[in-house]
Amino acid sequence: MGHERAQVKRFLERAVRCRLFPGASLLVTRGGKPVLELCAGRQTYVPWSCEITPHTWFDLASLTKPLVTALCCMALVDRGLLDLEQTLSRFFAGIPENKDGITVRHLLNHASGLPAHLPYYEKVLKLPARERKDALISLVLATELIALPGQKTLYSDLGFILLGRIVELVAGCPLDEAWERLIALPVSLEGIRFRPLDRSHAIEPAFLAPSGFCQVRGRVVWGEVHDLNAFSVGGVCGHAGLFGTARGVGSLLNRLFSIYHGRMLNGPVSSSTLRYFWTRRPFDPSSSWRLGFDSPSSGDSAAGRRFSPASIGHLGFTGTSFWMDLEQDLIAILLTNRTFPRVEEGDRERMKGFRQECHDLIWQVL
C-alpha cells in the first residue's frame, strides 16, 4: 500500500504546486475503517503558514445542506414532527400564491423553482443583527420563481435557507442547536460543528484553514463562514456555515453508513427514513438528486467514473466534497480551501477535473 499511498500523495501535492488550492485533507474509509488518510500543502501559500494535518478544520460550505439540514429533516420526520408534503404556508404567513404549492419535498429535491443564489446580504447587512434572519427569509419568500414547483430541477441555496428556518420552527430552537440535539449529541460527534459569529470557540487558529479574502468584509476570512448570505445572519444557515475536519465528516458519514446497513440500531435517524431519503425519487427524470443528497450524474460526474449509481454525495463551493458508495461500503472525503486567496475564472472547472481524477485514482490504488 506504500507505493499507492505515495502515488495519491504526489497527486495532491501537484495540485498544490499548480495553485489549485493551498492545502487538502483526504480521508478514505472502507467498511468503517480508514484505508487512506493523506494531507498536502499548507493553510496558505506562504511557506511559514501551518501545514495541513488531519486535525485541520475547513469551511464545509454546502456540505451543510446534507449533513445538517437534510439530516435534521430526517430526524423530525422520524419523530412525526415534519411531513415531506407540508407546504410553505404551513410554516410562513403571507406566502405568495405561486409559492403556496412548494413542499418540503420540493425544497429537499431542489425542485422548488427558486433560483440558485442571490446576494441578499447586500440588504441584510444594513439591518440591526436581531432583524437579519427574518429579513433574509422574507427576501427569499419574495423572490420570483424561475420555474413552477416540481417542474424542473434547479440547485438552490434559497430552498435550503427556507429548510433551515423550517427546522428551527419545528424544533423550537436555532438550527445549530437543533443539529446538536438531534444528530451530534446522540452519537457523541466530534470534529464537525457550526461557528456562530456571536460565540467564542475552542478551535485554535492554527487548526483553521482560511477560505479567502472577502472584499465585503475587507479581510481574510479565517474561521468564519465564507458564504456572505450565511455570514449576514450570524454564520448559521440551512445552506452553509458548517466547519469540520476530514475525520469529523468521516465519523458522521460512517455512522450513517452503519444505520443504512443495519449495524447501528440506536442512531439519530432510523434506517427506514435514511433509506427513503437516499433513494432516487426526483421530479425531473434527468435529475441526480435524492432528498438533500446528490448522486453521480451520468457521463461527467465530479465523483469520477468508478463510484456506482448507488452512491450519494455532495460538493461544497470552498472545495469540499464527500462521496459514499452504498454498494461497496467506501467513503471518500476531500477537503480543500480552493477559494483562497480568491476565486478566479475557470477555477470551478479545474476543480471539477481534479475531483474526477482524484476519485478515479482512489479506486485505482485500492
What pLDDT is recorded for position 2? 77
What pLDDT is recorded for position 18? 95
What pLDDT is recorded for position 198? 74
pLDDT tens string 63-96: 999 999 999 999 999 999 999 999 999 999 989 8
What pLDDT is recorded for position 102? 97
Q: Does residue 34 have a cis bond before it (omega within 30 degrees)?
A: no
What pLDDT is recorded for position 200? 61
DSSP sequence for 59-109: E-GGGHIIIIIIHHHHHHHHTTS--TT-BGGGTSSS--GGGTT-BHHHHHT
Kindly state the cell numbers that stand for 298. 451520468
CA distance 41 to 51: 6
Digitized pLDDT (tens) for each residue of the chain, 366 residues in all: 677 889 999 999 999 999 999 999 999 999 999 999 999 999 999 999 999 999 999 999 999 999 999 999 999 999 999 999 999 999 999 898 889 899 999 999 999 999 999 999 999 999 999 999 999 999 999 999 999 999 999 999 999 999 999 999 999 999 999 999 999 999 899 999 999 887 766 566 679 999 999 999 999 999 999 999 999 999 999 999 999 999 999 999 999 999 998 888 888 999 999 999 999 876 777 788 999 999 998 778 999 999 999 999 999 999 999 999 999 999 999 999 999 999 888 888 999 999 999 999 999 998
What pLDDT is recorded for position 205? 63
Task: Say whether pTM exceeds 0.85.
Answer: yes
Burial 309-340 (b: 16+ CB within 10 A, else e): eebbbbbbbbbbbbbbbbebbbbbbbbbbbbb
Kindly state the cell numbers that stand for 270. 432510523
Q: Which domains does the chain have, with CATH numbers?
A: 2-365 (3.40.710.10)
**Bridge partners of residue 58, in order along the sequence:** 244
